[in-house]
Amino acid sequence: MKRMVMILLNVVFFAVYFTILIFVGNRFISLDSNLGIFSVSMFVLLAAVFLAQVTVDKVIEIVTE
């Protein structure tokens, strides 16, 4: 049961992650100066979110052992 929940959370998380990544990628292609700044801040946010997800994975691993 715990493993199913873990897999489901990861699938949802990465679906959101890649949706945002594609959205930001489209913004970069448009090369608008304001959107460029927005995109950089979004990539920083994505990096933070990714690190948080990795940390959550490690915590879940420790808890489920």
- State the pLDDT confidence band at 61, using cuts at 50, 70 and 90: confident
DSSP, residue by residue, the chain: -HHHHHHHHHHHHHHHHHHHHHHHHHHHHHT-HHHHHHHHHHHHHHHHHHHHHHHHHHHHHHHH-
Token readout for 65 is: 């052992």
Please state the domain extents for the chain: 2-64
Q: What is the pTM of this model?
A: 0.41
pLDDT(63) > 60: yes
Q: What is the pLDDT of residue 37?
A: 59
Segment 7-41, tens digit of pLDDT = 777 777 777 777 777 776 666 655 555 555 566 66
